[in-house]
Structure 1
Amino acid sequence: LITKSGFIYFNEHSFLGSQDVAGDLKVLETEGITHIVNCATGVPNYYPKKFKYLHLEVLDLPWTDIIPSFREVHNFMQDCVDEGGKVFVHCNAGISRAATFVISYMMAHHNMSLELAMATVKSARPKVRPNMGFMKQLKFFEESLLNGTY
């Protein structure tokens, strides 16, 4: 994991950060980003002609049901990786929503426990802190991965 230009990448294909980076064309192009997951509310897809977007307006509230969006985000991220691209996942601050999607992706596609995925992301971006409701859902998601129901 490397911290760079206000965002982190946890492997050669996947990056996490805030809306500030999402609006910085120079940084996105320098890093070779090809796909962007925008899970912020009120933040446009700044460069729709330059990048492939998945835009989900997810509220950062403890009662928001985020699990139903996992599969769509994971598939988008994995398709990007399979195409040899680089995906940037962002919300407004890159702390709760985007981090929840990245952590769940690491759990599902890199066979990490919630504890390890969280520690891995926090080691590169210490301010990551999914809200309480998202943490409960990540624990439930971990159980569904372990018992094969995802």
Structure 2
Amino acid sequence: MDLAMFSQIAPITDHLFLSSAAAVKSDRIRSFGITHVINLTLEIPNLNLPNLECIQIHIEDAPHARLSAYFDRCADKINHVHMRGGRTLVHCVAGVSRSATICMAYLMKYQRMPLDQAYYHCKKRRPVVHPNVGFWRQLIEYERRILGRNSVKMVSSSMGMIPEVYQEEFRNMVYVPSSHRNHYRPSPAPFRY
């Protein structure tokens, strides 16, 4: 994995950007012409710059967290900023789950992108994008409400239910319990005679 990716600001559209908290630096904000920031962290304070509006949503990156309660509010704000000629950066701690989820919700609501396309669009621009399973369930429900259909469904895997867009990635992984955390590791190559 390219660790430099975690400190990059990824352009999702010409007016929407996605990053980790580590990338949120005043010089970088100015160089991208960012006028608004949506901070989706519990513990990281907003950047205090003149002419920069920041919104902080205190939410954890956990499958039970109700991020969907903010889908419309954030998507509407991103669209409003765009209509006024501004640019929005959405970030969380790593720029992988919470912030990616909000960007995908925006793409569905305002770009009318099906969820699978919104995911692949974000993943192409920021390869570390990987919303947690709970956020996927919320995105699937949101897609049904916004677009009237679903392009992604949850499927059974050796690691439990996952969005079908993760199937290829999870196919060669096995669950390895640990005393501290759950870890997923690539499975060994199958034995061939």
| TM score, norm. by length of structure 1 | 0.91
Name structure 2 gaps, 5 residues minimum.
150-193
2:17 and 2:90 in contact (8 A); partners too: yes
Match in the other structure for 1:41 = 42
2:38 and 2:55 in contact (8 A); partners too: yes
Secondary structure (helix, strand or coil) at the match of 1:106 reads helix
Q: Summarize deviations over 1:27-57 as a string: whole Å, max 9, x none.
A: 1101111000001110101215341111101
**In structure 2, distance between residues paired with 1:37 and 1:74:** 11
1:146 Cα deviation from its structure 2 partner:
2.5
Matches within 5 A, 1:10-29: 10-22=12-24, 24-29=25-30
Q: Which amino acid aligns with 1:98?
A: S
Segments of 4+ in structure 1 off by > 3 A? none
**In structure 2, distance between residues paired with 1:146 and 1:122:** 21
1:54 and 1:76 in contact (8 A); partners too: no
Between 1 and 2, higher relative CO (CA 8 Å, sep ≥ 6) is seen in: 1
**In structure 2, distance between residues paired with 1:72 and 1:124:** 24
1:41 and 1:58 in contact (8 A); partners too: yes
2:26 and 2:49 in contact (8 A); partners too: no
**In structure 1, distance between residues paired with 2:42 and 2:51:** 21
Secondary structure (helix, strand or coil) at the match of 1:109 reads helix
- Indicate the RMSD between aligned Cα atoms, in angstroms: 1.5
1:85 Cα deviation from its structure 2 partner:
0.7
1:35 and 1:80 in contact (8 A); partners too: yes
The answer to whether the aligner puts 1:9 opposite 2:11 as a matched pair is: yes
**In structure 2, distance between residues paired with 1:133 and 1:11:** 25
Match in the other structure for 2:173 = none
Aligned residue pairs total: 144
**In structure 2, distance between residues paired with 1:109 and 1:143:** 15
**In structure 2, distance between residues paired with 1:140 and 1:46:** 33
Match in the other structure for 2:131 = 130
Q: Which amino acid aligns with 2:135?
A: F
Match in the other structure for 2:88 = 87
**In structure 2, distance between residues paired with 1:91 and 1:71:** 18
**In structure 1, distance between residues paired with 2:50 and 2:66:** 31
